[in-house]
Amino acid sequence: MAMQHVLGGAGDSPTILVEGTLRSGQSVNFEGNVVVLGDINPGAQVTAGGNVIVMGVLRGMVHAGAAGDAQAVIVAFRLRPTQLRIANHISRSPDGEVCNPNQPEIARVREGIVVIEAFPPGGERQGKKQRPREELKK
Amino acid sequence: MSEVIVVTSGKGGVGKTTVTANIGCGLAMLGYKVVLIDADTGLRNLDVVLGMENRIVFDLTDVIEEKCRLRQALIKDRRIEELFLLPTAQTKDKSAVTAKDMQDVCGQLREHFDYVIIDSPAGIEQGFQSAVAGAEKAIVVTAAEVAAVRDADRVVGLLDSLAEIRDPKLIINRLRVHMVQRGDMMSLEDMHDILGLELLGVIPDDESVVVATNRGEPVVTSENSISGRAFKNIVRRMLGESVPLMNLDHREGVFNRLRKIIGLG
């Protein structure tokens, strides 16, 4: 899959770089894409109108496509979120069960639910590519 | 008849959040409808201690800003029926919740719940003042340390002057029985002399509290920990039962007897 498909029309919207780790209680709000060069810790929040890319560990809360864009994606070097939101879909990691592959992953909405796949697609873990998340009612 | 109770201490780190979570679970396990309010905006922990962090969508500040209805912000516990959490925001500060806001929220919640329990932040500033504003009763948590007792005493005075709460109940947390016996820690009598409050219970220093807290499962839900039993007793006392203080000495007992046998006691 070519990159321009993964990130939709991301090239058209403004993007900000956040340098460093977002700690608990810190938040970033931006109408375009957000790239974090660091981690997002539990209790930190990123809300973006477009996509969110984390060049580190995503442990906190990220809302991509916050203005309603369900095509928005969340990519993280390590995806361990408290909660992910894309447009009006909300998902959280399941209670108890742990599945933490050591590779970059991408979260996006497919058929109404947030799914998580290896990134780039077609890596070693092809067999377990899709990891559906428990859906929350908003 | 519903009750709105604030759990407070003045000093940080003495166990307000742990006490709130355990009392709330304990009451809900007996079938009472309980809602816990985290009033520590910006440094929230109650959601973590209850294992509910990843289910927060709306919070207290959203309710105040009318971004959602009150019942949308309530999170239901997955193990205990009738236990709910009203979380607060982590990315805002104490100014997001005023005393008037708390009074309004507590007023609404008390119509639907038997117990509304508020986890106050440490300190005596705005966050504390908002937290106590909606309450009619208080539980003061202290540790057996001079500094913690001093702060508790200050808070008892403020509860009276700010919120007209006259007779708060006392919980002594993290008591190390062997240190008290050696005279290295304040005893219950020492603390009672200073504070003069009715004692609701004593929680021994117990590693299983740390384990349970980190797992997001309050210790009162476990059957065989000494601190879990201490919390169950506290809950029964809150309901008006007369439960004698637990003998926290029994683990020392064997050791002491041994010492006596070898002639050290």
Does B91 sit within 8 Å of A92, measured CB to CB? no
Specify the pTM. 0.86
pLDDT confidence of residue B257: 55
pLDDT confidence of residue B223: 83
Contact residues on chain A for B50, CB-CB shorter than 8 A? none
| B255 pLDDT above the threshold of 60 | no
Supply the CATH number for residue A9's domain: 2.160.20.70
Number of domains in chain A: 1
Given 3.90.1150.10, 3.40.50.300, 3.30.70.260, 3.40.50.11740, which CATH number is that of B3-261? Answer: 3.40.50.300
CA–CA dist A97, A116 (Å, integer): 15
pLDDT confidence of residue B50: 97
- If one counts every other C-beta atom within 10 angstroms of the C-beta of residue B32, the result is 19
- Which sequence spans correspond to the domains of chain B? 3-261
pLDDT tens across B175-211, in order?
999 999 998 889 999 999 999 999 999 999 999 999 9
- The answer to whether A88 faces chain B, any CB pair under 8 Å, is no
Q: Is the dihedral of CA B190, B195, B196, B198 positive or negative?
A: negative
Q: What is the mean pLDDT of chain B?
A: 93
- How many inter-chain contacts (A to B, CB under 8 Å) are there? 29
pLDDT tens across B68-120, in order?
999 999 999 999 999 999 999 999 999 999 999 999 999 999 999 999 999 99
Does A43 sit within 8 Å of B55, measured CB to CB? no
pLDDT confidence of residue B247: 80
Range of the domain at A59: 3-135
Query: Which residue among B57, B78, B90 sits closest to A43, beta carbon to beta carbon?
Result: B90
Alpha helices (H) along chain B: 16-29, 46-49, 60-64, 70-73, 99-109, 126-133, 146-163, 177-181, 188-195, 207-215, 226-238, 250-261
Contact residues on chain A for B90, CB-CB shorter than 8 A? 24-25, 43, 45
- The answer to whether A5 faces chain B, any CB pair under 8 Å, is no
- Inter-helix orientation angle B16-29/B207-215, to 10°: 80
Query: Which residue among B54, B57, B78 sits closest to A93, beta carbon to beta carbon?
Result: B54
Considering only alpha carbons, which residue of chain A is nearest residue B47? A43
Average pLDDT per block of 10 residues along chain A, 138 residues long: 54 90 96 97 96 97 96 96 96 80 94 93 53 54
Contact residues on chain B for A83, CB-CB shorter than 8 A? 54-57
Chain B residues 53-82 with a CB less than 8 Å from chain A: 53-57, 78
